[in-house]
Amino acid sequence: MKWSKLFLVAVALMAVAPFTSCGDDDNHASIPTRPSGENEADSIAIAQISWQEREIRDGVVSKTAQVQKLFDYPQTISMLEIDLNKANVSFVVSYEVSLSKTTSDRAIAANALAAINGTFFNTSTGVSRHFLKCNGTVVATTETNEFSTRATGAFCATGDRVEIKTWSSSDEASLGGDYQQVVVSGPLMMDNGHDVAMWANSFTTDTHPRTCVATTDDNRVFFIVFDGRLDGAKGVNLYDLRTFARQMGATDALNLDGGGSSTLYIQSYGVINHPCDNGKYDHEGERAVPSVLMVKTN
């Protein structure tokens, strides 16, 4: 083949290659892809995690742990477990087209009990790439190409009534039904206890900091953050994140924005994980984000 033809083939391949983003477009080299899927060693490691626990409110417990080896690497995990059978709380979505406020900034301003970073966004403009509904009002819609890649699930809530469900353009046309709060993100990892096929892309298979929200059949909600790109905290791919959520008891799990955006804030304790953004803000490298998912006391 002549060099001119080789050049044209290379250009064509670059044009069709799927884009990757981790909240978005972090300038960090990802750790090479590891084989994904459950194995006995990881199952044992998860079962044997020694959690440091704090009771935040009745039915609300924070958990943090450092694990020497899980999914091939050392890990640092932060989690909030909300038992809706006991906790008198509600869920609220907050969104503002701004790249000046962090997850903790937004949570403190709203007097939230806890918060995690929300969905993916344009890092130049602060505009959400995915549908958001705040207090019954649609404030952002999904970019068309996201329906087949990341925008495959939604966390929906009205007060303490919650559901993680599949999402498509037809769901978006119905504006999330009667739910007052909706965060679209993804990929959706688990639906009613079943694994969901995810985007076949390095975004899914590479190791990064990750954030997810998950629910159980017995009415619990998990906010889960794996730190990454730090010593003692390498991060996970989405298959491993799903494995972890399942072993925590989750039947439904939705990936949220990750990378430098991954943040878990708890009132009176501050940011309890270790965000890995560039340190521009005085929150251990916490990134400014336009959307957050908050827990508020009733």
- Which two tokens mark 248? 């925590």
The pLDDT of 199-221, averaged and rounded, is 97
Find out whether 290 and 127 touch, Cβ atoms under 8 Å: yes
In which band, very low, low, confident or very high, does the pLDDT at 36 lie, cut at 50, 70 and 90?
low
Residues sharing a CB contact under 8 Å with residue 200, sequence separation 6 or more, in sequence order: none
Predicted confidence (pLDDT) at residue 14 exceeds the cutoff of 50: no
Nearest to 202 by CA among 129, 149, 123: 149
Residue 221: DSSP 8-state: E
CA 295/CA 115 separation, integer angstroms: 6
Q: What average pLDDT does range 59-67 have in this prediction?
A: 98
Report the DSSP pairing between strands 153-158 and 161-166.
Answer: antiparallel
Instruction: List 155's β-bridge partners, or say none.
Output: 164, 183
Within 186-239, strands assigned E span 188-191, 194-195, 210-215, 220-226
What is the reported pLDDT for 35? Answer: 53
Question: Are 241 and 256 spatial neighbours (Cβ–Cβ below 8 Å)?
Answer: no
Query: Can you read off the two tokens belonging to residue 134?
Result: 């705040």
pLDDT at 32: 52
> Sorting pLDDT into bands at 50, 70 and 90, what band is 231?
confident
Look-up of token digits 């037809």: 170
- Contact assessment for residue 130 and residue 142, using Cβ atoms and an 8 Å cutoff: yes
Question: According to the model, what pLDDT value does residue 29 have?
Answer: 46
253: amino acid identity, one letter: A
pLDDT band for 31, please (50, 70, 90 cuts). low
The CA–CA distances, whole Å, from 5 to 2, 9, 13, 14, 145 equal 5, 6, 12, 14, 30
